[in-house]
Amino acid sequence: MIEMIELAASEPNSPLLPVWPEVGIGLICFGIIFFAFYKKLLPNINKTLDERRESIEGGIEKAESIQAEARQTLDSYKELLAEARHEAARLRQEAQEQGASLIAEMRAEGQRQREEIIAAGHTQIAADRRQATEQLRQDVGQLAIELAGRLVGESLEDHARQSRTIDRFLDELEEQADGPVPSRTEAGR
Partner 1 sequence: MSNEEVLAFETDCHLFQDCGFPAPSVWSFLFEPIFTVGPIEFNKIMLLALLGTALILTFFWAAFANPKVVPGKLQMVAEAGYDFVRRGVAREIMGKKGEPFVPLLVSLFFFVWVMNIWAVIPFAQFPVTSAIAFPAVLAAVVWVTYMTVTFRTNGFVGGIRNLCVPSGLPKPIYVILTPIEFFSNVILRPFTLTVRLFANMFAGHLLLLLFITATWYMLGTLGGTLYAIPAFVFALILTGFELFIQALQAYVFVVLTANYLSQALEEAH
Q: Using CB under 8 A, which of 21, 153, 179, 180 touches partner 1?
A: 21
What is the 3-state secondary structure of the chain? Answer: CHHHHHHHHHCCCCCCCCCHHHHHHHHHHHHHHHHHHHHHHHHHHHHHHHHHHHHHHHHHHHHHHHHHHHHHHHHHHHHHHHHHHHHHHHHHHHHHHHHHHHHHHHHHHHHHHHHHHHHHHHHHHHHHHHHHHHHHHHHHHHHHHHHHHHHHCCCCCCHHHHHHHHHHHHHHHHHHHHCHHHHHHHHHC
Does residue number 26 form part of the binding site for partner 1 (CB under 8 A)?
yes
Does residue number 51 form part of the binding site for partner 1 (CB under 8 A)?
yes
Does residue number 33 form part of the binding site for partner 1 (CB under 8 A)?
yes
Q: Using CB under 8 A, which of 16, 104, 127, 156 touches partner 1?
A: 16
User: Which region among 47-55, 92-100, 126-134, 140-148 touches partner 1 (by CB under 8 A)?
Assistant: 47-55
Q: Using CB under 8 A, which of 47, 114, 130, 159 touches partner 1?
A: 47
Does residue number 57 form part of the binding site for partner 1 (CB under 8 A)?
no
Binding site for partner 1 (CB under 8 A): 11, 13-27, 29-30, 32-34, 36-38, 40-42, 44-45, 47-49, 51-52, 55
